[in-house]
Structure 1
């Protein structure tokens, strides 16, 4: 009796096991997921170069007039807007010179008006034949001298005004103040260095270009930057300058790329930092995988490959292009179909696998 009951239980277990296996090997319905057919697509080929960020606009501001420093609004590492006052000198002497020059200009203008009237009067009298030609020549000479003195006084007034304006030093461009070479109360003379700064909007990249890539880089019609956060910054048609002489030791050429004028602080591009420059050198046919089709198991990338019986996990080698796409390096060929949503495929296969495990217990 016990042997009979044991045989019945064993038969029921085998029946359930074969049922679960049949369910597990059934192909997934077409509606459970969408399939992606691998088709070659033309994709750009990039030449990647490590590049150093340099500041194009980097200068030392020097004094153009003499005076004692009474104002230094900015400190080192401060962001200075274009046209902002960075140094202010005492201007008492410059104001006095300007007042003196303006007074001399006023006097010269009065003398010029007087000589102009005198010349016109002598010309009228000379036309009537009442004065000699010598009197007319004398009036003309006095007029010319008065005009020259007026021009000289006007130039002196302009120079004095310029000297007064130079007591206020303004930033030639917006940027970062790197060094402050003077302090409040110091006496500045003409030519004395005051401040050192650079612009974050006028940048360029320098890189070493291998000799075998020289011609390809010259023909490049697109460039990108690989930023530290993994994103790409498109630069359009690159403004490249390649040195005509190569390095005899490394057989490479100095390449410079001028960045478009913009504020790159948000992209963390600062002078002295390293980045990756990508130059498009051509195009080739590649197989692309959407990111949703790839399952990661540690360091191994896998996709669900369509098979007659049921989808099969296929290991592949991929290269990430951006957040939504991978380039297929090996593991699949053109024309094969993979599950577009690998996570959905995994969940659809999971109930059958769980049921098989439970029954085996």
Structure 2
């Protein structure tokens, strides 16, 4: 038990030295009296940046349809497989429609018979009207014939409607692609019964000629984004970037996260982008400005609020700064640092405020190309 009593304080001290816990004053004084740490310093680099708003999302097809029958029947033909490319109107599946075709034929025959009766009554009425006008036959006979014709015409209309519905039911035994695309999934087999209620899904067709990426950006960035704005979309799985356009901005803000959904459309005529791929979106906010840039490894912390250490009189002096993440492992310093201050970079993991340091000046980056100003979509 005595051994554990000794080890526990040692472990606690070790954890305090590795983490971001504030050391007591005595520990700070001890750090100040420690051996000097060899560090490199650099002054912030003035660099032109193009502001962007960044977020992440998932690629989705511009159109997708889960296809099922509008009538119930047994699948007798399934001519497509997953991955097949289909044109609009292509046959996806056929159901057994023998009984429906028989019903349609019977309905058509019935309509034809009633149509013949109507024509016969029309001819007879045309013959009787002149006779009634001359008084050869009573006018009541013509009136009775007109009533018969009116009833026959009503029957004909109903029969024709029934025949049309029967033909439509027969056409519904064939399931067709509503648009050109790719069969992404086939969920049933020949011999299975597909129902219209509850609806069965036989296959899914997607249009990947273009993709849409739905992403969320913080409410504070909304004023910098507009429909039609240019965007660059990178797909890590492909290690490629594509040009895109903001096609839609949601009319409402999520009050829980204080974010708004935007949709970016990307052309995919090459067919290399697949539905469900993760995407990194950078929307160009317009304008170029000069920024004070540091390597991200010169900062400590996450998000917009971080700490840096500057070299002053042989000591490391801690500064609280506000930054804006940029691409290529860099950040823009917005507040808390002067342009001519010597910043310790890279930042040693155990460096503390007031620690003695010896310095060497780090070579400033020679890259003068414009960077894209990255804004995290994390609402926090």
| TM-score normalised to structure 2 length | 0.58
Q: What pairs with 1:43-58 in structure 2 (closer than 5 Å)?
A: 45-58=51-64
Rate the CA distance shift 1:328–1:209 in 2: closer, same or farther, 3 A: closer
The C-alpha deviation readout for 1:189-243, integer Å capped at 9, x for no partner, is: 433413241412363211111121111113764334335566653345x321225
The C-alpha deviation readout for 1:67-122, integer Å capped at 9, x for no partner, is: 32221122234333332211112222122112211211110110111111122223
Q: Residue 186 in 1 paired to residue 195 in 2?
A: no
Maintained 8 Å contact 2:67/2:205: no
Maintained 8 Å contact 1:240/1:256: yes
Unaligned runs of 5+ in 1: 1-41, 288-298, 300-313, 320-325, 330-361
Rate the CA distance shift 1:105–1:84 in 2: closer, same or farther, 3 A: same
Deviation, 1:127, is 2.7
Q: Residue 284 in 1 paired to residue 260 in 2?
A: no
The C-alpha deviation readout for 1:131-165, integer Å capped at 9, x for no partner, is: 33322221211111121122112112111111211
The C-alpha deviation readout for 1:254-288, integer Å capped at 9, x for no partner, is: 2234x37x6x262632221122323232212579x
Maintained 8 Å contact 1:220/1:279: no
- Counterpart for residue 159 of structure 1: 165
Query: Which of 239, 242, 248 is matched with 1:233 structurally?
Result: 242
- Counterpart for residue 136 of structure 2: 130
Maintained 8 Å contact 1:211/1:253: yes
For residue 367 of structure 2, give the secondary structure of its aligned residue in structure 1: strand
Aligned equivalents of 2:143, 2:179: Cα separation in 1 = 55
Q: Residue 60 in 1 paired to residue 66 in 2?
A: yes
Q: Which has the larger radius of gyration?
A: 1
Aligned equivalents of 1:176, 1:266: Cα separation in 2 = 14
The C-alpha deviation readout for 1:296-346, integer Å capped at 9, x for no partner, is: xxx9xxxxxxxxxxxxxx964427xxxxxx3389xxxxxxxxxxxxxxxxx
- Counterpart for residue 217 of structure 1: 225
- Counterpart for residue 277 of structure 2: 273
Aligned equivalents of 2:187, 2:52: Cα separation in 1 = 45
Maintained 8 Å contact 2:62/2:210: yes
Maintained 8 Å contact 1:67/1:91: yes
Maintained 8 Å contact 2:125/2:145: yes
| TM-score normalised to structure 1 length | 0.61
Q: What pairs with 1:234-249 in structure 2 (closer than 5 Å)?
A: 234-236=243-245, 238-248=246-256
- Counterpart for residue 145 of structure 1: 151
Q: Residue 327 in 1 paired to residue 370 in 2?
A: yes
Unaligned runs of 5+ in 2: 1-47, 292-328, 330-362, 373-380
Rate the CA distance shift 1:77–1:120 in 2: closer, same or farther, 3 A: same
For residue 57 of structure 1, give the secondary structure of its aligned residue in structure 2: strand
Q: Residue 203 in 1 paired to residue 211 in 2?
A: yes
